[in-house]
Structure 1
Amino acid sequence: MRYTEHDSSSSVSPDLPPEPGPSKPTNGHTSNGVSGPSATNGTLKHATKSSPPRVSLPGTTLYEDSNIDREEFIRLVIQSLRDVGYTESATVLEAESGYVMETPEVAQFRTCIVDGRWAIAEKALTALGVTEEEGLLDAKFLISQQKYLEYLEAGNTTGALHVLRNEIAPIQSNPEHLLPLSSLLMCTDAADLRQRAVWDGATGSSRRRLLVNLQQYIPSSIMVPPRRFSTLLDQSRSHQISRCLYHNAPPSSRNFSLYSDHRCDKDMFPRDTVAILQVHSDEVWTMEWSHSGKLLASASKDQTVIIWSIGAEPDPSSRTYEHALTLRDHPFPVGCLAWSLDDSILLSSAEQYIKMWNTKTGICIRTLDAHTETVSALAWVPDGSGFLSGSQDRKIILWGSDGRQRDSWGITSIRVTDLAVTPDFTRLVAVGVSATSSLAGNATPSGRGDSTTPPGAGGRTSTNGSGAQVGEHQMIVYDLATKQPEVSVSLVGQLTSVKISDDSQYALINHAPDEIHLWDISTGRMARKYTGQRQGRHIIRSCFGGVDGNFVVSGSEDGNVYVWHRERGILLDILQGHGPGSVNSVAWNPRNKRMFASCSDDCTIRIWEALPQDHTYTGASSSNVLNPRLLEHEGTGGGSSSADHSGKGKGKRREPWDED
């Protein structure tokens, strides 16, 4: 239970920065808690016996042509030196520059908080610049809350009650905030108190955490925020990453240096085909990676689902792709796929039917037929307890992991084309054509018929000159708990797929004709638009990709794969290689952020990665193939068993990245 939004602690012993303050010789101890003689850059030295002469420099900026204030810079350097243990150097710099990191009043305030001298600390707030009434009350509340908890921990119930009634209640009169605090009076012992309050006690880090929370009310020029220099460097790195169009490196010191600006080379981006998987006998409409990233499922017009096994060999030259299973017995072409959280179950849909497959044995566990029209969307809920299905019959159904119906949205206002659940498990985003639109009556149950459009498109419809549907289509954001719409956006033009960002803030939606939209699902406002690809009458499914989800990738009806920078909306590359027809879907490996797959009407799946460092790139085009062995398996048709266990088609692949 957390009692104030200012307390950001989440564990009993959080990793806090060393306590800052005026530099002093440490007599054999460094300020970072490591015992030993004072050290400067690895060389042992004794504290200086006399202060160095003060250096007088002209001007107030760091350099003549700089806008950086010299005093602020030096104070941050002093703080950083103390934080990492160079206290003697910090002392010398204070004396030489004449700048003191913080005043004696600030140092006294720190000492009062750390020592638990609460009355003196409260009086010092005004002297430290906390004069705004609301901020002063908030700061006093934080101090009183700490005092209250420490009284309870020490078994002093009388003192705790006095603080609650005479200090906390007058400041915080809202019963919803007072009740959790007062309930702590019933704790059986100190351990119970610390657990229920998510607080590590007076002797833990709680007082230093209190200092961090109080700091937001004290002007930063008076009390420098902790690790301020490090914060500025992190912000600089984040800015450089945002400006790096091809950034796809994991965060580590190996990838970033203070000596130069960060930049990822274009050739490090996964833009080359390293494997071609060809077993399907007809168009491949969609794919889904397993959560482990070791399996890839593909769905096809040939009425089968194939599960591919991706080798985990550490040697890049021994990487294998294996046609592991073929899941048959679908009465119609397969349009949707979804893996359970533990990858033990794979869902597939063919028209109004949903099949649940055991991914180890390839046995169909159950066939679900609650929908009356094409099932156009399947999505497991983030806690793995079940899954959702959306259909053109306007129903959204919640199923348990055992395949039994648990709940239903009833009849919605749209014929669902696609849906997705936010990773934070709070919202459901659905897209589709309005039930009141004239299009609704024209849609065929098959959704695709004899055309070359995967299920979910709505079948025969009115179109404009580009072939895109004309009418009202909607994006609806539902509260997952109440099933009530929070946001509803109406658009002209077909919405064919939706993916949610990892932070649960944005929805990526394919919009025909020829656009992909990034929507803020909290406000219902479009944040970005990506153009260049072709989409007029087919279902195209895009996705986020990369280490930080900073790419947007989509297929296209011109047979290419398009890649954009997510934040800047710049088209980075057009990847060629697929044969005639649409590239229907792309999927980024959830574990290997340097790999994604695409599937096409040409019956193939392509695996895209970066060129190995020892490969000589000819620069001819981004369709270069690193001599991939075509993974084929004859005889995908025929046979009466539900699953075809195939060990054929194994082939070695080159792994172009060295894993960190």
Structure 2
Amino acid sequence: MGGLEDDDEPLSKRVKVMSGESGGFSNGLSDSFSMARQLSSQGDNVEAIGSKGVVNKTELVRILAEALYSLGYSETGARLEEESGIPLHTPVVDMFMRQIVEGQWDKSVSMLHEIGLDETVIKSASFIILEQKFFELLEREKIIDAWKTLRTEIVPLSINDERVRVLSSFIISPSRNLFDGSFGKESRLGSRKKLLEELRKLLPPAVMIPEKRLVHLVEQAFLLQKDACKFHNCEVGKMSLLTDHKCGCDHIPCQTSQILQEHNDEVWFLQFSHNGKYLASSSGDCLVIIWEVMADGHVSLKHKLSGHKKPVSYISWSPDNNQLLTCGVEEAIRRWDIGSGECLHTYEKRGLGLVSCTWAPDGRSIFSGVSDKSISMWDLEGKELKCWRGQKTTMIADIGITTDGKELITVCKETIILLFGWETKSEKIIVEDHPIISFALSEDKKFLLVSLLNEELHVWNIDGCTKLVAKYKGHKRSRFVVRSCFGGLEQAFIASGSEDSQVYIWHRLSKELILTLAGHSATVNCVSWNPVNPYMLASASDDRTIRIWGLNQVNMNKNGGQYSHNNNNNNNSRSNSNGVNYCNGVSQVG
């Protein structure tokens, strides 16, 4: 059975009409279809270009030609092929593509063998070509011919049996035709174009250049440059094709924009809400303060929450950001309404203290660590729903839960973190070599940041099998609980407090310490990076203050939508006019 014969004008004559349109055939079937098509391939003598000698000139020209065709510049694409002597496709492939567009199905299937493909690829490509033939026969109500194509051409390929059964159902019930009677000549051409796109994915890239390959390569280059840039903290869309991408530290919150002084004792803990609109802080003065982040970035006091009789060591925001859990040191958990500042409920356990708290992902229940090393689950009204006894937690005031709500995360022993499947009673552990001080979860709950007694931070992948993926060093910790966090755009950074009164920031991927922020006069106990605004960081200190860190505005001069930076690669001590001092390759902001 040959190609389908059209009673009207052949489809091949209409290719010229579509080729001038953006999104038309990127395979070179254009007004200049015949140009450069008779040129032989230059692939036998590979010429490398570029300073590294790794770019194949023939491949580059072919990719450029494909990009021109896909952008709708058909005449320019054809001219490139003619002038370079490098065709986008070989004459055999061009003939094959023409046959697909014209519906010469038997010839196109035979041509697959002439292209020189693997037998598996030939079968897969033949299947989708013959499937197109099958549907076009059905569309013309040539049911017998369609049945013969299925029985004598598609079935013998012996692949995709499930799909064959689906095709058989169209013979039994022609009314189920995918084209539902609207499969006219123009839509048939569009369907054949889609078939070419599927074949492009199936055939080796040396035979048919993948669609929009140049765009894909540029996107890859952007992402690689972004990952290699240790200060990158802006959207990829702001990157330019015209220059290599390199950010300066001005894209990192490194300058104090506000000092909050409402607490009367050491500030132990702070955390931004999930939507970045609020900041909650707790202190040795037994107070919890809710701060509101205004539209201009200014942070203002919203509520002072009093009621705890002991210093507040832990805070947890509800999934909807409307409520807050606070936990006193071996005391009680209180649940607060953010809008009114009212205490909605107090959770207590007779004769025992509660040491940590977190929300279930649905916001309908809470979990708490208990001083007897058990874990309790409560409904919002204070009814204890479950209690898991044994060595489930320690006195460390950290507890987390995975995104699916199925695993609780606690420190169950001095050097062991427990991932406890509270529904199935399953247990997975992470064993460290040194005592654990605190931990924090990434925003997607797939990574765990662990602070250790030996002044190291470890990042563990907990999505599936647990795996240590990174270590960070540099901050100081010998006596106190010092907390760290993920932060920045796509959580590309690690930040930590330190007993030397500074905030430390590492580039997460390279593990390089990139900034130390000076300003506090005592131990920095906790840091929190705004999850919505990558340019806002908060730190809490024993000096009774909270510092809000923002961008260094002195040298943030916009130039054509891009920030200009005064970068210097010299590793000796130096200072720039923007007030940033560089010491041994690490920026130190005063």
Give TM-score, length-normalised by structure 1. 0.67
2:205 maps to a residue whose letter is: S
Aligned to 2:326: 348
Question: Is 402-411 or 215-224 further displaced after alignment?
Answer: 402-411
SS of alignment partner, residue 223 of structure 2: helix
SS of alignment partner, residue 578 of structure 1: coil
Aligned to 2:64: 77
Offset at 1:430?
2.0
Aligned to 1:604: 545
Give, in whole Å, the separation in 2 of the partners of 1:184 and 1:333: 73
The alignment status of 1:617 with 2:578, answered yes or no, reads yes
Rate the CA distance shift 1:525–1:478 in 2: closer, same or farther, 3 A: same
1:574 maps to a residue whose letter is: T
Question: Is 389-398 or 596-605 further displaced after alignment?
Answer: 389-398
Rate the CA distance shift 1:264–1:123 in 2: closer, same or farther, 3 A: same
Query: Of 497, 501, 508, which residue of structure 1 is paired with 2:438?
Result: 497
CA contact (8 A) 1:147 1:163 kept: no
Rate the CA distance shift 1:48–1:212 in 2: closer, same or farther, 3 A: closer
Give, in whole Å, the separation in 2 of the partners of 1:109 and 1:387: 64
Give, in whole Å, the separation in 1 of the partners of 2:546 and 2:19: 62
CA contact (8 A) 1:560 1:578 kept: yes
Give the aligned length. Answer: 532
Rate the CA distance shift 1:139–1:331 in 2: closer, same or farther, 3 A: farther
Give, in whole Å, the separation in 2 of the partners of 1:291 and 1:224: 44
Give, in whole Å, the separation in 1 of the partners of 2:311 and 2:496: 22
Aligned to 1:542: 484
Offset at 1:489?
2.3
Aligned to 2:344: 365
Higher relative contact order (CA 8 A, sep 6+): 1
The alignment status of 1:322 with 2:264, answered yes or no, reads no
Q: CA offsets per residue over residues 364-414 of structure 1, 9 Å max, x none? A: 111122597554443334454544434454434445566655556554544
The alignment status of 1:30 with 2:9, answered yes or no, reads no
Question: Is 208-217 or 290-299 further displaced after alignment?
Answer: 208-217
1:237 maps to a residue whose letter is: F
CA contact (8 A) 2:263 2:544 kept: yes
2:214 maps to a residue whose letter is: F
CA contact (8 A) 1:54 1:96 kept: no
Over the aligned positions, Cα root-mean-square deviation in angstroms equals: 4.9
Aligned to 1:395: 374
Give, in whole Å, the separation in 2 of the partners of 1:520 and 1:90: 47
Query: Of 228, 236, 239, which residue of structure 1 is paired with 2:224?
Result: 239
The alignment status of 1:63 with 2:49, answered yes or no, reads yes
The alignment status of 1:311 with 2:301, answered yes or no, reads no
The alignment status of 1:593 with 2:580, answered yes or no, reads no
Give, in whole Å, the separation in 2 of the partners of 1:322 and 1:598: 15
1:245 maps to a residue whose letter is: K
Offset at 1:245?
1.2
Aligned to 2:560: none
SS of alignment partner, residue 489 of structure 2: coil
Note the residue ranges of structure 2 that are not aligned, 5 or more in a row: 1-11, 26-30, 180-186, 557-576
Offset at 1:305?
0.7
Offset at 1:30?
2.5
Give, in whole Å, the separation in 1 of the partners of 2:136 and 2:380: 46
Aligned to 1:462: none
Offset at 1:290?
1.4
2:231 maps to a residue whose letter is: Y
2:325 maps to a residue whose letter is: L
Offset at 1:523?
3.6
1:513 maps to a residue whose letter is: N
Give, in whole Å, the separation in 1 of the partners of 2:393 and 2:140: 60
Aligned to 2:451: 510
Question: Is 262-271 or 607-616 further displaced after alignment?
Answer: 607-616
SS of alignment partner, residue 415 of structure 1: coil
CA contact (8 A) 2:40 2:90 kept: no
Q: CA offsets per residue over residues 40-63 of structure 1, 9 Å max, x none? A: xxxxxx979987998999963253
Offset at 1:422?
3.9
Offset at 1:554?
0.5
The alignment status of 1:264 with 2:247, answered yes or no, reads yes
Question: Is 365-374 or 102-111 further displaced after alignment?
Answer: 102-111
Q: CA offsets per residue over residues 410-464 of structure 1, 9 Å max, x none? A: 54544374233344x2763624142xxxxxxxxxxxxxxxxxxxxxxxxxxxxxx
Give, in whole Å, the separation in 2 of the partners of 1:337 and 1:473: 23
1:247 maps to a residue whose letter is: H
Rate the CA distance shift 1:390–1:167 in 2: closer, same or farther, 3 A: farther
Q: CA offsets per residue over residues 124-173 of structure 1, 9 Å max, x none? A: 6666665365x77777888899999999999999999x989x96997568
Offset at 1:118?
8.2
Give, in whole Å, the separation in 2 of the partners of 1:152 and 1:363: 70
CA contact (8 A) 1:55 1:96 kept: no
Query: Of 195, 201, 210, which residue of structure 2 is paired with 1:225?
Result: 210
Question: Is 273-282 or 539-548 further displaced after alignment?
Answer: 539-548
CA contact (8 A) 2:334 2:346 kept: yes
CA contact (8 A) 1:431 1:495 kept: no
Note the residue ranges of structure 1 that are not aligned, 5 or more in a row: 1-21, 36-45, 195-201, 314-318, 435-471, 626-660
Q: CA offsets per residue over residues 309-343 of structure 1, 9 Å max, x none? A: 12113xxxxx5321110111113211111112221
Matches within 5 A, 1:271-310: 271-310=254-293
CA contact (8 A) 2:515 2:588 kept: no
1:307 maps to a residue whose letter is: I
Give, in whole Å, the separation in 1 of the partners of 2:280 and 2:346: 18
Rate the CA distance shift 1:50–1:296 in 2: closer, same or farther, 3 A: closer
Rate the CA distance shift 1:150–1:87 in 2: closer, same or farther, 3 A: closer
Give, in whole Å, the separation in 1 of the partners of 2:115 and 2:312: 68
SS of alignment partner, residue 355 of structure 1: strand
Give TM-score, length-normalised by structure 2. 0.74
Give, in whole Å, the separation in 2 of the partners of 1:488 and 1:227: 46
